[in-house]
Structure formats: structure tokens, C-alpha cells
């Protein structure tokens, strides 16, 4: 398994664990990290498909640095 594959697997596992815990804030951060990884791998549409539904949950009411970073990942 390549380092890229291992990174992808670890990020997916982290996101799954966090979702099972119901920790929305941490879900957002883990999804952002995974989306940034996917975007860096050239998988922009996968990054957007992962991140957009999570951004939609939070809406535009929250103007935080995390949301700005996440928004920067999307095309």
C-alpha cells in the first residue's frame, strides 16, 4: 500500500469514527482534511461531493476560519 493509499484510508477511518460519535464540529474538520487531500490528488469533484453536504449542514450563519478553509477547497 502506498503512502497516499494509507493516508486516504486513515482519513476515511477518522471521518467514520467521528461520524459514529456524532461530533459535528470534528466531522467538519476531518472532512475538510480529507477533501484537501483529495483535491491535492487531483480528485476535485470527489472533494466537492464530500464537503458540500457538510457545508450545507452548517449554512452560511457560521463565519469561521474552518468554513473559509473548507470553502477554499471547493471548485
For 23-57, the pLDDT digits (tens) are: 988 988 899 999 999 999 999 999 999 988 888 88
Q: Is the pTM of this model over 0.85?
A: no
Asked whether the predicted pLDDT for residue 63 surpasses 70, the reply is no
Question: Taking the domains of the chain in order of start, what are their residue ranges?
Answer: 3-73
**Average pLDDT over the chain, rounded to whole?**
86
**How sure is the predictor about 60, in pLDDT bands with cuts at 50, 70 and 90?**
low
> Which residues are CB-contacts of 55 (< 8 A; sequence separation ≥ 6)?
67, 70, 71, 74
Amino acid at each position: 500500500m502506498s503512502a497516499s493509499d494509507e493516508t486516504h484510508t486513515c482519513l476515511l477511518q477518522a471521518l467514520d469514527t467521528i461520524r459514529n460519535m456524532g461530533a459535528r464540529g470534528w466531522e467538519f474538520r476531518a472532512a475538510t482534511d480529507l477533501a484537501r487531500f483529495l483535491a491535492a490528488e487531483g480528485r476535485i469533484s470527489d472533494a466537492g461531493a464530500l464537503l458540500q453536504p457538510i457545508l450545507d449542514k452548517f449554512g452560511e450563519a457560521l463565519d469561521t476560519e474552518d468554513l473559509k478553509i473548507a470553502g477554499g477547497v471547493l471548485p
